[in-house]
Amino acid sequence: MDKVAIVTGSASGIGFETALALAREGYHTYATMRDIKKGDKILEITKKENLQLRVIELDVNNENTIKKAVEVILDEKKRIDVLVNNAGYFLVGCLEDLTISDLKDQFETNFFGVVRTIQAVLPTMRNQKSGIIVNVSSVAGRIGFPVTPGYISSKFALEGLSESMRYELFPFGIKTIIIEPGVIKTNLFATLKKVTKPDSAYKEITEKVMKGLLMMSEMGTPPQEVAKTIIKAVASDNPLPRYPVGNDAIMFLEAKKDKTDIEFENYIKKELFS
């Protein structure tokens, strides 16, 4: 029996690499994306390597596309074994510069999009009494940083959701895993939404932090490493609740664990502003 995996946000970056990695591990993989015209590259690799991978439309902000995608998958394969929630975007802007609409849009994709997709697959996983849900969070789901409060808040919310799910779903044989990448060498900044008013009081801090993030992304962890971590977690009989990925993520989390709140705050200020 084929094991079936769904990956959201598969057009590029982490989702792209994870969909390919799952297919290479023998999963019949549905690489989903909002715009299937962006699926040419992954389909080219699929054909070359003779993988079981199909590109289908799924917009996490559109319940109809989620429902339709799940119906197609169940009609073809009758089961869903793995769901990787990866779709999201990176909102940059200090809180005073952001509108409520900006923040709602960020949560609509990064948080409620995950909720919609999970709710669509849970009945199938419960009936199977098995399944694995992988939520791609971020080190920013555990640690606050300046200039990205919308993004960070959405990832903090995703971490809390995932912790609650672990308790609710384990009686049904469903595992919940959180992946926490640091800065990844990917096209995150190509899909970045930046909100800064021309006369913003936060223009200087925003530019400084963005410059640092861009430098870090050039030396960041390749998205393939995140995909490898997801494969390792999914293959485990008893996966950990969380998997940090990248030296920067591990460094920040270790520092947070070892320091008091004030010590850690001073550490972050030194790292970002010195």
Q: Tell me if residue 89 is catalytic.
A: no
Four-point Cα dihedral 182, 192, 117, 179, nearest 10: 0
Q: Give the total residue count for the chain.
A: 274
* Annotated catalytic residue within 27, 30, 151, 243: 151
The secondary structure of 34-58 as a DSSP string is S-GGGGHHHHHHHHHHT--EEEEE-
SS3 call for 28: strand
Return the exposure string of 243-272: e unless at least 16 CB atoms fall within 10 Å of the residue's CB, then b. bbbbebbeebbeebeeeeeeebeeebeeee
Rounded Cα gap, residues 80 and 9, in angstroms: 17
Of the CA atoms within 13 Å of residue 41, those in its CB half-sphere come to: 12
Rounded Cα gap, residues 57 and 34, in angstroms: 6
Catalytic sites, residue numbers: 151
